Amino acid sequence: MTAPPAFHLAVPVDDLAAARRFYGGVLGLAEGRSTDHWVDWDLWGHQFVTHLASDAGPATGTSTVDGRAVPVPHFGLLLETDAFHRLAQRLRDAGTAFVVEPTLRFAGEPAEQWTMFLLDPAGNALEFKAFADPDQVFAR
């Protein structure tokens, strides 16, 4: 028996076809089970679900981080550095508009990391990160 995914996350979307184009096509996630109201996705081994919700709307808040307004709420994933850069290039190739372009933060410090923010077609905010040293994720 294999270990279950580390987390399960569900987000509202207003168009499942657009979600399929973005999550399956742009991000390249494998589609799992689905109905006419939801789709399961393999988000790097985690169960991620897009649920059709007619009242889905974009994130409305922001928080200032390193002088940049980042969307709140948001969700995301920690990737290995090479996977982060492959994903960033895939997103650029797809013409993705970034909220925060792929950026190196804390260069030379214990928490050195790459980060990027973007929105899915329903306005859900996503952040992807890659730490130079994964053991420093919670460094202070």
Classify residue 12 as left (phi > 0), alpha (psi -120 to 50) or beta. beta
Residues 104, 74 share a domain = yes
Q: How far is CA 25 from the centre of its chain?
A: 14
Domain of 14 in residue numbering reads as 8-52
pLDDT of residue 70: 87
Mean pLDDT by 10 residues, the chain (140 residues): 73 94 96 95 93 77 87 90 97 96 93 94 94 87
What is the DSSP secondary-structure string of 43-102? ETTEEEEEEE-TT-----EEEEETTEEEEES-EEEE--HHHHHHHHHHHHHTTPPEEEEE
Write the CATH number for 122.
3.10.180.10
Residues 72, 31 share a domain = no
Size (the chain), residues? 140
pLDDT of residue 101: 96
Residues 91, 24 share a domain = no
Number of separate domains in the chain: 2
pLDDT of residue 58: 67
Q: Is the pTM of this model over 0.85?
A: yes
